[in-house]
Every structure is written in structure tokens, then in C-alpha cells.
Amino acid sequence: MHLLIVEGTHIEAELRRKFGTSHTYDFCAATAPDLRTRLSAADVGFDLRSWPELHYELPRQPLFYDTSRTSLAALFHNEEAPLGPVFGICAFPTLLERTRLETSLYRSEDAALLASICAQLGTAYYVVQDRVGLVTPRLVCGLINEACYALQEGAVSVQDLAASMKPEHAYSCGPFEWANQIGIARVYETLEALWQDTHEERYRACGLLKSMYLRGNQFAG
């Protein structure tokens, strides 16, 4: 298959490892003047922009959108219905290259097509509800947020939290290293979207995390 990935260079290595060398890849900038031409040549498209707009190009091939910080329902609210099938995907750095691809459906009648596409991509998959944060980004960002509260309150150090989440506890790194790998902005923006969607206190972004986001900082090791 020929895959078009818009604004996906930050996870290019993960995408190539996830789907393998049997496919061809076109990593395209959102500002590329020939975006429509490159989309028309693709078998499937992935739009990884914060505010996906690939459907405005009126494609008919299957499109995957990064719905970690939104939902397909929100994306197409008051918009033209997509001409082709559209799916949500968890495209966070560190969360893409897993055994099963985390996806969501916009239309239930596209479930069989999703199964066919994932088979062609060579990946197992599972479908979750079309909600902000899907499932894994919710859990991971919530965990990072709780760690930030603990650090802000002086209850624990960065090193102690990292040690508590090492491989023997099923995590490959600590919450702050994980936040850096995902991107502080993605973590914060996901929590903000979850807070607006649910108003559950667990998703209210910690002040420390918000400050890191606003200053463009990363957590020190």
C-alpha cells in the first residue's frame, strides 16, 4: 500500500516500524502545494495535524485522523460529511508502535472495511468508542498528571517516581520521561480536551504541567 502521512515526521520511525517495509510512505507537510495530488496517489491517508482538514480535499480513499485530542464526531460537527470512510487513531509518540492499533469508527457500517485495511497494513487492531482521548491517551495523560500533582506537592522526587515505574512495574520509563517523549504540549492539550469534555477532576491539568507547557519546557531527568 502507498501511505500518505500529513505532518507525521515526529513519528516517522515509529510508523515505518509499525507497518513495515512492504509499504511505501509519503510524509507530507500540511503546506505542500501538491497535497491534493499526493493524496490522490495514496491508498490510505493519515492526517496527524492538531486540527485535521484532509477531508476538505474531498478524498474518497480511507483516512485516519489523530483523535487523541478530539473525536471524529467533533471533527465533523457542522462540516460536510466525508465522502470516503474515516477512522480515528491513537497516534501519540510511544503509543503507536504496539501490537494492536487503537482505532475508532465514525460510521459503524465501515467496521468491515477497517478490518480489511488493517489486514492490508499488516496490523492487529481494536475499536474503542469515538471519544476525546480514546482509551490509552486518557490513561497515560492521567497518570502523568497525577505524577505532576505529586511532584508539585513535594510528595516525591522525579527520581523516585521514575524508579517506581521501571520495567518490573510494567513501564519502560518514568512519567516525566514519558511526558517528554510524547511531548508536553500533547499531554497538556489532551488533558484540557478531556476536562472540557467530561469536567472530571482527574483531568484538570496540574499547574506544574500547565507552566511547563506555557514555557515550552521539558522535565529534567
Query: What does the alpha-carbon distance between residue 25 and residue 28 come to, in Å, rounded to a whole number?
Result: 9
Encoded amino acid at 71, one letter: S
Number of Cβ atoms within 10 Å of the Cβ of 93: 16
Element (H, E) at 175: helix 175-182
Query: Three-class SS of residue 63?
Result: strand
CATH match of 136-215 with 1.10.760.10: no
How many Cα atoms sit within 13 Å of 12 on the Cβ side?
Answer: 11
- What are 100's three cell numbers? 494492536
Give rounded-to-5 percent helix, strand, coil for the chain: 45, 15, 40
Encoded amino acid at 204, one letter: R
pLDDT tens by residue, 182-206 = 999 999 999 999 999 999 999 999 9
Q: Rg of the Cα trace of the chain?
A: 18
pLDDT tens over the chain, length 221 residues: 999 999 999 999 999 999 999 999 999 999 999 999 999 999 999 999 877 788 888 888 999 999 999 999 998 888 887 778 999 999 999 999 899 999 999 999 999 999 999 999 999 999 999 999 999 999 999 999 999 998 888 766 667 666 665 554 455 678 899 999 999 999 999 999 999 999 999 999 999 999 999 999 998 86
Looking at domain 2-127, its CATH architecture is 3-Layer(aba) Sandwich (3.40)
To the nearest 10°, report the CA torsion of 179, 181, 182, 183.
Answer: 80
pTM equals 0.89
Q: Which stretches within 45-173 are classed as H helix?
A: 72-75, 111-121, 136-152, 158-164
Q: Where are the domains of the chain?
A: 2-127, 136-215
Cβ pair 102, 126 in contact under 8 A? yes
Give the position of cell 511505501. Answer: 24
* 63-66, strands of its sheet edge to edge: 24-28, 2-6, 44-47, 63-66, 86-89, 100-105, 124-127
- What are 66's three cell numbers? 489523530
Exposed, middle or buried: residue 197 (CB in 10 Å: 0-12, 13-18, 19+)? Answer: middle
Q: At how many degrees (to 10) do helices 175-182 and 184-198 cross?
A: 90
